[in-house]
Amino acid sequence: MTVIEMFFQHDHPASQGHFPGNPMIPGAVLLSETAHAIAAGLDSAPALYQVRSAKFLHPVRPGDRVLIRFSRDARGEIRFTCAVETRPVLTGQMACSAPPTAK
């Protein structure tokens, strides 16, 4: 299991307008940033990933630190969970066509 920390700035531009007085990071941004962080953690290009499933459980707010926990099996299937503190906010599965790198 690999763990990566991601931080959304208090003034993150994607939160403007989502929603006035109750800002949150849009799900598409959270999923995109998660995919990019996992790709970087596996030393591969984000374009090699295909999201198979994603379930948004709780909102992520500007200023939140998100912990991404993921694992990859031999077939390239990646299961991930994102959490703010101990609360899961996103779970899902992706596939990667790049071969695993030796670390």
Which region holds residue 55: left if phi is over 0, alpha if psi is between -120 and 50, else beta?
beta
- What pLDDT score does 44 carry? 82
Bond into 80 cis (ω within 30): no
Band (pLDDT 50/70/90 cuts) for residue 15 is confident
Question: From CA 39, how far away is CA 7, in angstroms rounded?
Answer: 17
- Please give the single-letter amino acid code of residue 18: H
Active site residue 58: no
Give me the architecture of the 2-96 domain, per CATH: Roll (3.10)
- Please give the single-letter amino acid code of residue 26: P
Cβ–Cβ under 8 Å, residues 64 and 33:
no
Active-site residue identified among 10, 12, 18, 58: 18
User: What tens digit of pLDDT does each residue of 45-98 get?
Assistant: 777 788 999 999 999 999 999 999 999 998 889 999 999 999 999 999 999 877
Rounded mean pLDDT, 25-41? 94
| Boundaries of every domain in the chain | 2-96
